[in-house]
Amino acid sequence: MTGLKQGAAAIGRSLDTYYRDQERTQRMDRLNAAFVAKGGLAFDIGAHVGDRTASFLRLGASVVALEPQPRVFRALKLIHGRTSEAVLLCQAAGAQPGEIMMHLNTNNPTVSTASQDLIATAASANEWKDQVWDSEIQVPVTTLDYLIKEHGAPDFVKIDVEGHELDVLKGLSAPVPAISFEFTTIQRDVALSCIDRLGELGRYEYNASLGEEHVLRHQNWIGPTDVRDQITSFPSNVNSGDVYARQLL
């Protein structure tokens, strides 16, 4: 299979995974509704094919969505490009504006990354042994601070950038009401550093959702020490999930 056909097939698999499961879609909408109300604003950082963007839009929110992979961005634009409430940007987010190298996994673009550390760690992780990053491109980088300046303060920021989450948070200089970031059990240190970074910005309480459950694990939100302990104790076969944080006023 040529690279072009392989990439198209991979994007097709993403569309099947993220748009055809109606039960997953309903769980995602229920969870997102806890953070974004009608008329609100969400940032979708690492939008991929835009299933989270779609959820925010269904809830009546406006969305600023970033996806730096050109082929994936084309799919995102085909789906949401005519929606006036969605601003779509073919960019990455990071600690400062400029450019960054994206390492593309054309067979599985969901794990394309700007993090060389993720690739190095994945090389010795059984759960990631079949992943191959086979291409590189330079992509433009913006920051959360700049997006806020241009589009307004978000009610919720979702970050899913495959090991690059801390760099995204370094581009934020003031707390936001709610935020989520992906974690993987092969890079727990990144998640712990993200919690530390949020603590520098303000007071937050935390929750978590594993894999594609889109259900919070704790009825009562927990503090930074407890969520750090939980991330450290998750078995490796959990593989990934999302940490949710909401600001304490």
Tens-binned pLDDT, residue by residue, of the chain (249 aa): 455 556 678 888 878 878 889 999 999 999 999 999 999 999 999 999 999 999 999 999 999 999 999 999 999 999 999 999 999 999 999 999 999 999 999 999 999 999 999 999 999 998 898 999 999 999 999 999 999 999 999 999 999 999 999 999 999 999 999 999 999 999 999 999 999 999 999 999 999 999 999 999 999 999 999 999 999 999 999 999 999 999 998
Supply 141's token pair.
């980088």
147 to each of 39, 86, 173, 182, 195, how far by Cα in Å? 18, 13, 12, 20, 21
Per-residue pLDDT of 177-202, as tens digits, reads 999 999 999 999 999 999 999 999 99
β-pairing verdict for 240-247 and 178-184: antiparallel
Q: Tens of pLDDT along 193-226?
A: 999 999 999 999 999 999 999 999 999 999 999 9
Q: What's the predicted TM-score (pTM) here?
A: 0.94
Count other Cβ atoms within 10 Å, centred on residue 115: 21
Give the neighbor-by-neighbor strand order of the sheet with 86-89.
86-89, 62-66, 41-45, 156-159, 178-184, 240-247, 204-210
CATH fold of 3-247: Rossmann fold (3.40.50)
Burial readout 94-113 (b: 16 or more C-beta within 10 A, e: otherwise): bbeeeebebbbbbbebbbbb
Q: What b-and-e string marks burial along 184-213, b requiring 16 or more CB atoms within 10 Å of the CB? A: bbbbbebbbebbebbeebeebbbbbbeeee
